[in-house]
Structure 1
Amino acid sequence: MNNEQVIAYIKENNIQKIKFAFADTDGVLRGKIISQKKLLDGLHTGYGFCDVVFGWDSSDTCYDNVNLTGWHTGYPDKLCYIDLSTFRTIPWQDDIPFFIADFTGPNGNTVPADPRSLLRKIQKQCSEMGYHAEFAQEFEWFNFLETPQTLQQKDFADLEPLTPGMFGYSVLRTSQNSGFYYDLFNLLTKFNIPVEGLHTETGPGVYEAAIEHCEVLEAADKATLFKTAVKEIASLNGITATFMAKWNENLPGCSGHIHQSLWNRDLSENLFYSGNDANKMSEVHKQYLAGQLFCMPHLLPMYAPTINSYKRLVEGAWAPTTITWGIDNRTTALRVINTAPQYTRLETRIPGSDTNPYLAMAAALASGLYGIKNKLELDIKPTTGNGYQNKSSGQLASNLFDAATAMQQSAIAKELFGNDFVEHFTQTRLWEHRQYAKSVSDWELKRYFEII
């Protein structure tokens, strides 16, 4: 439906409550329910939100190191605006209408910290270059027979997985939980997040889903909504779903790989494909890939934003550690898939399931476009075999502090995203590191409590 049809639908059906939300820096959805009158009154003037939503972390603890907002500003309201094109209804909540919002106003003014507004800016640059960016994200996550209450009572220890054992691609395990399994597939589709594949991954209670590809902003919307939707559907089935990158040191981590390609405006030609190249890669594809390789160490926190992200990025864990690429190689940071013209694409394998999709996709697209704009040569050879052993082009930072510090000091990051965003975002990541650094872990207690 177009905007007028959406408004007519709300009025004609006398819908008196509407839900909307936006993603904060960590990709957490923040929102509320409003009345029909409130919706209609604010479509052009916006809806006020205390700007603490960009001034606190995922635990609602206020940052002490950001300039955008804080006690020094008095935490005023900032205006967010509903995007009517994101209209859908929530099938597991009596089909209540739902919208996504962001902080870009009609005059183009925005809040520098707003992830969706940042991606909109990169999307516009892509369009102005004559390209249509087609993206999709896939997610792995663990499921547990727990509730928010039992998680607290157990102190997040000795949790019961949905199913035991390592059962990747198991038909048996999904049949044993067919109610939850089919709820996911069916309800996500009704929520306009069509899933093209859903299966178990290796590990107790692990699922993986691939979302259908679409234009980059819509793809990020769907990826962001996917995570919360899965959690809500899981809860209805007595299950808790986690999108931590690595919840257990002895089990595989959870990926959030991003698939992408550039097309012409009418989607009649995949501009990443060339039948004349040995690897079926066009010059545009090579430049795009070169841009991602070049920018990768400058933007790593946008792909790996949490302390926990780096517990997944270790050798032999199906996640990259080196600045590498290869043809259908799952040990490299970037994987080229070239099975057919319409399916030729690049897979960025650094992101885990804990990413903010808006920021991860903005990083991927902006760095790829950087390579095209600057006609970067793909001078790094494709890796054949074990990408963990190919350290000739450098390694990824092994922790959030080093990654955030590198981004904060990077002229490339500031060129791509502006000083205000880079400073705010990296300060939030450095805050995250400081919270971790002062905590006392179970590992420390077990190792030192008695013996030292």
Structure 2
Amino acid sequence: MAISVPTQESLLAEIKETIETKNVELLHLQFVDLEGTLKHVTTTVEKLDDVVEGKTMFDGSSITGFSPINKSDLYLQPDLTTFAVLPWSVEEDYAEGRFLCSVTNPDGSDFEGDPRNVLKKTVKKAEDKGYSISIGPELEFFLFETDEKGRPTTETQDFAGYFEPSPHDYGEKVRLEIYRTLKQMGFTIEASHHEVAEGQHEINFKYADALGAADLATTYKWVVKTVAKQFGLHASFMPKPIAGANGNGMHTNISLFDIEKGENAFYDESDGRELSETAYQFIGGLIDNVKDFVAVINPLVNSYKRLVPGYEAPCYIAWSASNRSALIRIPATRGAGTRVEIRCPDPSANPYLAFATVASAGLDGVERNVTAPEEVVDDIFSMSDAELTERGIENLPPSLDAALDALEEGRIGKETLGDHVFNEYMELKRAEWDSFRTAVHGWELENYQTKF
């Protein structure tokens, strides 16, 4: 039976009813910049019709990676499926709502510098090949104490470990409030738990189509930070905020569905691993291309301090049906839930760009009929350098600088991001690396200042 898709008219009618019922007065029109930082323009409900028609203009020259000052007028086109009332704004006779938006040019065409539009192009490319993309990201975060001025410290609010409950997990109350808030905003929450490091947490939500998953990831980060602040804490999605502790990952689960057959294209019960030829090709595409897009899914100088042996973060380019030391693994679920998990992305990545490059790399493997390398079932972390070399297991780039070189020399990043985003991204990240390279760090002063 075909799934009924709500029309724009029916969605708008529901939104207007909610606005009236909840006494919504203000609407936040949200979008992300090149780095995935959430922005918004606020208007009143009296302007709803203009909002829906995409008539809200803003200055694109003030947004990182967007427009030059002589072509600065851009517009926001809301996605009606993303409307939500903000739970923390609700009072007896007042509330605020939000839409996530795509960015358009004055003529109504998609603005090529909008990360959301980049992902939409990848989704369209997959549809043209007969596939829809489903993604389920898992974003980890730390909860840190703040000082007397409200600035974040690196002191955690608990001393719990993996899956540990209260009384040791003082963050349980915060996670509960995050769960309640997300649920009120339309999320389906599947799990919530303390992670491995002290003060580290994870709340998993149900997978969605690629664009919906990026919208959910963006909203999730905003909600987590907002709720944490209500408790006087700072939520950090920084990849490696504490040396010597596990970092924050964004394991990304991805599936292709055959649109015509309505089936998971990765599943084949006749295969020994119950994986289809398409699944193996997709894995091959990720393995073959990952060096060329890792600068997008691990975008910070700090990202590469997480991707080192010893902290469960995969830094070796290999795949396995179950081995968590591999960069890519296949979770045990089969049938409609068959999926590929790429484990190196971190939550500082722009979800729209990250999901676009991951999907494009895998689809490239399908299109070129790439053969996946041999599965690695042994613990890669315990292998010597000689054994890694003998088995042909390569490392991810060791730094942002090296990752940017690979992105610049490769093909997938340029093709997926498009000229505008690619060039702006390279300029932004080269500047970030140069700033880091030329800065004098505390480690240098501690080790050199008195010695030399």
Question: Structure 1 length as normaliser, TM-score?
Answer: 0.89
Q: Is the 8 A contact 1:291 1:367 kept in 2?
A: yes
Letter in 2 for 1:381: E
Q: How far, CA to CA, are the matches of 1:134 and 1:338 in structure 2?
A: 17
The 1:193/1:11 distance shift into structure 2, 3 A limit, reads: closer
Partner of residue 3, structure 2: none
Mapped to 1, the partners of 2:243 and 2:169 lie a distance apart of: 28
Distance 1:366 1:107 in 2: 28
- Aligned-residue RMSD, C-alpha: 2.3
Alignment partner for residue 155 of structure 2, among 143, 146, 160?
160
Match status 1:30 vs 2:25? no
Following superposition, the deviation at residue 301 of structure 1 comes to 1.1
Please give the alpha-carbon distance, in whole angstroms, between the structure 1 residues aligned to 2:133 and 2:167.
Answer: 36
- The residue number in structure 2 matching 1:59 is none
Structure 1 residues 123 and 108, CA gap change in structure 2 (3 angstroms): farther
Q: Which amino acid aligns with 1:290?
A: G
Question: Match of 1:132?
Answer: 132
Q: What SS is found at the alignment partner of 2:301?
A: coil
Residues in 1 aligned to 2:77 and 2:369: alpha-carbon distance in whole angstroms: 37
Once the two structures are superposed, what CA deviation does each residue of 1:347-402 show, in whole Å capped at 9, x if it has no partner?
Answer: 01011122211111111111111111122222x11111123443514221111111
What amino acid sits opposite 1:279 in the alignment? R
Aligned to 2:73: 77
Matches within 5 A, 1:175-324: 176-265=170-259, 268-324=262-318
Cα distance change on mapping 1:277 and 1:434 into 2, 3 Å = same
Rounded to whole Å, the distance in 2 between the matches of 1:39 and 1:230 is: 28
> SS at the partner of 1:141?
strand
Distance in structure 2 (CA, Å) of the matches to 1:149 and 1:115: 34
Contact 1:163 1:173 in 2 (8 A): no
Distance in 2 of aligned mates of 1:144 and 1:338:
34
Please say if residues 50 and 56 of structure 2, whose CA atoms lie closer than 8 Å, have aligned partners that are also in contact: no
CA separation in 1, counterparts of 2:207 and 2:177?
Answer: 21
8 A Cα contact 2:33 2:64, kept in partner = no
Distance 1:272-1:415 versus aligned 2 partners, 3 A rule: same
Q: Which residue of 2 aligns with 1:386?
A: 379
1:105 is displaced (CA, Å) by: 5.9
Match of 1:17 among 5, 17, 26: 26
2:342 corresponds to 1:348: yes
Q: 1:340 deviation in Å?
A: 2.6
- Alpha-carbon deviation of 1:331? 0.9
Give the C-alpha shift of residue 407 in structure 1.
1.0
- Give the direction of change, closer, same or farther, for the CA distance of 1:283–1:161 in structure 2 (3 Å limit): same
**Counterpart of 1:193 in structure 2: which amino acid?**
F
Q: Which runs of 5+ in 2 are unaligned?
A: 1-5
Distance 1:294 1:280, change over 3 A: same
Q: Provide Cα deviations, 1:322-363, integer angstroms capped at 9, x if missing partner.
A: 221111111111111233323221101011122211111111
Q: Is the 8 A contact 1:322 1:395 kept in 2?
A: yes
Q: Which amino acid aligns with 1:3?
A: L
Tell me what 1:417 maps to: 417
User: SS of 1:347's equivalent?
Assistant: strand
Separation (CA, whole Å) in 2 of partners of 1:206 and 1:15: 35
Q: Secondary structure at the match of 2:42?
A: strand
| 1:140/1:353 contact within 8 Å kept | yes
Separation (CA, whole Å) in 2 of partners of 1:342 and 1:80 = 36
SS at match of 1:257: strand
Contact 1:144 1:161 in 2 (8 A): yes
Name the amino acid aligned to 2:16.
A
Letter in 2 for 1:130: G
The structure-2 alpha-carbon separation of the partners of 1:222 and 1:412, relative to structure 1 and needing over 3 Å to count, comes to closer
8 Å CA contact retained: 1:136, 1:259: yes
**Bigger proportion of residues as strand:** 2
Give the number of aligned pairs.
432
Question: Is 2:316–2:380's contact at 8 Å kept on the other side of the alignment?
Answer: yes
The change in CA–CA distance for 1:339 and 1:37 in structure 2 (over 3 A counts) is closer
d(CA) in 2 for partners of 1:18, 1:146: 30
Percent identity over the alignment is 26
> 2:88 — aligned with what?
92
Match of 1:8 among 5, 8, 16: 16
Quick check: 1:113–1:425 contact (8 Å CA) kept in 2?
no
Letter in 1 for 2:201: Y
Q: Distance in 2 between matches of 1:108 and 1:366?
A: 26
Inter-partner Cα distance in structure 2 for 1:284 and 1:237: 47
Letter in 1 for 2:233: I
Cα shift at 1:173: 4.5
Counterpart secondary structure, 2:135: strand
Read off the aligned partner of 1:125 and give its amino acid letter. K
The answer to whether the 8 A contact 1:328-1:337 is kept is yes
SS state at 1:328 partner: coil
Gaps of 5+ in 1: 57-67
CA–CA separation in structure 1 for the residues paired with 2:109 and 2:398: 36
SS of the residue 2:25 aligns to: coil
For residues 42 and 92 of structure 1, do their structure 2 counterparts lie closer, same or farther at Cα, with a shift above 3 Å needed?
A: closer
Q: Which moved more, 1:304-313 or 1:424-433?
A: 424-433
The residue type paired with residue 451 of structure 2 is I
TM-score normalised by structure 2 residue count: 0.89
Report how far residue 76 of structure 1 moved.
2.0
Moved more, 416-425 or 401-410: 416-425
- With 225-234 and 29-38 compared, the bigger mean Cα shift is at 29-38
